[in-house]
A = this chain, B = another copy of it.
């Protein structure tokens, strides 16, 4: 009987040694954005950031280390990945191999339940799940902090998909103190992210390239210098469950990041006309009394952060505004979870 490798766990057969594990991590939406690195080689960010995990959006990633492999392999949603994606995952596996003192190659299979590359951070959930699965397969049970540090090396925002709920990523000053931790659990404040999916197209400039352009904007320095103030305001607003205090700082921070993007050289526009239409509508709905504010990552989709009581109304209004807009709703999500490792189910 032939079983897919990832279901086999630890196996010794014909002298092939395999170690396998599967993990799941959620996407996250940043309230205070990560944009630009102090050290891009290790993804040491220019500023601390803050996000909310998204329960409805996740990556499930299986990793099988095997001495029968001569190179790393990567399937995304059951399809062989494009070379650029394999290269990036393989580079992250190199980081993990160095950390774990391993020379094995890995077979990686990742499934996202949401569209990739449209401003919903698939790399965050994917690299968080990859980091957890890859380390657990080799029997390492790392602390949340260690996992967050390692996930960061693969994709900056993946650091924030390791801890649960509302998450702060401490910029730190070196590899070993740049990690994320939870400031509140998912049930602390039942916000919802009502995502207006404006486009499923792959974004024209990926985040990794985008980060590298941040310093070409004259606005990046002041965005970074003032980020700690906004972070503190946002944390206070979350801990006080104060939507009126949270909304303006979330929108300001999103506008600041996009202002940096637009004034980079060359200029980067992630907003589409429909994005702006939704943003202006959200501002109007808030003036009318709904608990809703917008934020956009490096893509055209508009994340409408809502008080849970208003999420259904916001979702309905988005469809009224434009029936072509696909709406995805997500509650606050938990941290990265190990699903199976070497025949054990956690």
Q: Is the CB of B222 within 8 A of A259?
A: no
Q: Which residues of A contact B (CB under 8 A)?
A: 218-219, 221-223, 226, 248, 251-252, 255-256, 259, 262-263, 265-267, 269, 271-274, 276-277, 279-280, 283
The interface residues of chain B lying within 8 Å CB-to-CB of A218 are 222-223, 226, 256
User: Within 8 Å CB of A263, what residues of B?
Assistant: 252, 255-256, 259
With contact pairs A255-B259, A259-B255 given, residues A276 and B267 touching in the complex (Cβ less than 8 Å): no
In the assembled complex, which residues on chain B have CB atoms less than 8 Å from the CB atom of A252?
Answer: 263, 265, 267
A276–B271 CA distance with the chains assembled, in angstroms: 8
B272, A276: Cβ atoms closer than 8 Å: yes
CB distance from A344 to the nearest CB of B (A): 51
Query: Residue A259 contacts which of B221, B259, B273 (CB distance < 8 angstroms)?
Result: B259
Contacts of A280 in B (CB 8 A): 269, 272-273
Which residues from B are CB-within-8-Å of A276? 269, 271-273, 276
Whether the Cβ atoms of B251 and A255 lie closer than 8 Å is no
A286 to B155, CA, bound (A): 34
Q: Which residue of B lies closest to A277 (CB)?
A: B273
Question: By the criterion CB–CB under 8 Å, are A251 and B271 in contact?
Answer: no
Q: Which residues of B contact A267 (CB under 8 A)?
A: 248, 251-252, 255, 283
Task: List residues of chain B with CB within 8 A of the CB of A266.
Answer: 248
**Among A263, A274, A277, residue most surrounded by chain B Cβ atoms (within 10 Å):** A263
With beta carbons under 8 angstroms apart, the residue of B226, B262, B277, B283 that contacts A255 is B262
Residue of B nearest to A260 (CB): B259
Identify which of B256, B265, B277 contacts A219 (C-beta below 8 A): B256
Kindly provide the distance from the CB of A278 to the nearest chain B CB, expressed in whole angstroms. Answer: 9
Q: Are A219 and B274 in contact, with the CB atoms below 8 A?
A: no
A18 to chain B, nearest CB (A): 49
Q: A219-B259, A256-B259, A269-B276 given. 16 additional CB < 8 A pairs?
A: A218-B222, A218-B223, A218-B226, A219-B219, A248-B265, A248-B267, A252-B263, A255-B259, A256-B263, A259-B263, A269-B280, A269-B283, A272-B280, A273-B274, A273-B280, A276-B276
Question: In the complex the two chains form, what is the Cα distance from A248 to B218 in whole Å?
Answer: 14
A251 contact set on B, CB distance < 8 A = 267
Q: Which of B221, B262, B272, B273 contacts A222 (CB 8 A)?
A: B221
A266 CB, nearest partner CB in chain B, Å: 8
In the assembled complex, the Cα of A272 lies from the Cα of B262 at a distance in Å of 16
Interface centre among A223, A251, A267, A273 (most CB of B within 10 A): A273
Q: Which residues of B contact A259 (CB under 8 A)?
A: 219, 255-256, 259, 262-263
Please name the 9 residue pairs, one residue from A and one from B, whose CB atoms are nearest each other, closest first.
A259-B259, A273-B273, A273-B277, A255-B262, A273-B276, A222-B222, A255-B263, A276-B276, A218-B226
In the complex, chain B residues whose CB is within 8 Å of the CB of A271? 276
Query: What chain B residues lie within 8 Å of A269 (beta carbons)?
Result: 276, 279-280, 283
Kindly list chain B residues whose C-beta atoms are within 8 Å of the C-beta of A272: 276, 280
Residues of B within 8 A of A283 (CB): 267, 269
CA distance A262 to B280 in the complex (A): 11
**Interface pairs (8), CB distance under 8 Å:** A218-B222, A218-B226, A219-B256, A222-B222, A255-B263, A255-B267, A259-B263, A272-B280
